[in-house]
Chain A
């Protein structure tokens, strides 16, 4: 701080800044996240039920629960990627907040959006190097913590 602002200390300023800075509406954001997050999960459930429905079974045969789960995840990742590519997912995110970030469609969005953004810097140094800019930490620490939890589970079982 300079001598021009002799009446303003850093401590005082934190208070002034806090009192003038608007806060996010947590209640509204939570409600929107609940609605949109639920909607995305309902779509996934609908797709999963469709795979187990009679007309579909007649065409593709009976699928076990694991395969239905995997196909549903694939479908949702495809949906998230498609909506990202069509410039729609970010608009949903503005309203839905965590509701569209937390489901797996949000994960797809976090991989596809940097891939699109860095396409201009080439396939290797652009798309290849930057694709996991947002999702990378989730993958690294997700994998690491799953190993750790697995180890604890193994030891507990012994």
Chain B
């Protein structure tokens, strides 16, 4: 059973192995600096006639790809924890409707990959489940349609705006390590459940500034709860703060006595080359953290280039209705400590 530390953190008593990962990305992501690490590249609509069906296809294909890699029967999967950015988690529902696996839909905006892995690992550490899959997706076109303007509307982006990543990433979590006996596999060591933060930034084109305090809050809580310093980790990997949010995060962290500048990186900064790809402040969307973690970071962990990673995916809890009704823009961040 997981043991609670401090207010927000839980140390897992058993080892929850990240046995395998899979990810499928769009063309722009493939052209980015991490292009070579992704499993597969597909068109943004994945050959479907609507963006929403295209995103659902990404989830379905990523799920099937992962199942193919682990050569397990779907009957052996206790639950799939899935989330996306669309209304009522539409892409997850459509994408997994034929999976025949118990399904829990989650919404944590861009924090969903950490949220799904966090929920899965706590369910597994309670001995209720042994094998689960955590999966998320986002799609540039369907996200633009839902949150912003029609795709073909001509306009300019502000320097703080972020580009929604078209990708889906999945992890297979198990209480039992797969593969050869001597082969090491990364495992989830502890988790920190974030609190909603509201620092009254009301610019929908500056999600980095909306999210940075939530991210700092979760990292600080994680370190304090588990009596750790930032140098415990080889990498503190935040999800989707982009260039603007990352700068702010470092500033808030040093204000609170923790300098993380030497070991911090952000998925939103890593996935695109902002200068040549004109993605302004960087990538965003729950497919961003999922794609970067399941490809590049997972590989670094498996090759022992990284031994301890704090994965902190952060999301803005907003809906277009909230924005129109003048509500404050809220943010949440969840942390997962992964070791090998």
Contacts and interface: CB of A to CB of B under 8 A. Distances in A.
Interface stretch (A8-16, A44-52, A69-77, A146-154): A8-16
B197 interface: yes
Interface of A is mostly: helix
A21 B278 CA distance: 17
Contacts of A21: 159-160, 203, 206, 208-209, 244
Interface of B is mostly: loop
A1 B145 contact: no
A37 interface: no
Contacts, number: 128
Nearest to B151: A117
B154 A22 contact: no
B150 interface: yes
A84 B157 CA distance: 18
Interface of A: 1-2, 4-8, 10, 13-14, 16-17, 20-24, 29, 84-85, 87, 89-94, 96-97, 100-101, 106, 109-110, 112-114, 116-118, 120, 133-134
8 contacts: A1-B199, A5-B217, A17-B199, A21-B160, A85-B152, A90-B152, A100-B154, A109-B154
A5 B213 contact: yes
A14 B329 CA distance: 13
A87 to B, nearest CB: 6
A117 B49 CA distance: 11
Interface in B126-176: 145, 149-160
Contact of A113 (B151, B220, B252): B151
Contacts of A134: 149-150, 153
A96 B153 CA distance: 13
Contact of B152 (A1, A23, A112): A112
B200 interface: yes
Nearest to B243: A22
Contacts of A117: 145, 150-152
Interface in B226-262: 244, 247-248, 251-252, 255-256
A2 B152 contact: no
B152 A7 contact: no
Given A100-B154, A134-B149, A17 B255 contact: no
B74 interface: no
Contacts of A7: 255-256
B11 interface: no
Interface string B203-230: 1001011001100111011001000000
A84 B151 CA distance: 10
B100 interface: no
A4 to B, nearest CB: 4
Nearest to B141: A117
B153 A93 contact: yes
A93 B152 CA distance: 9
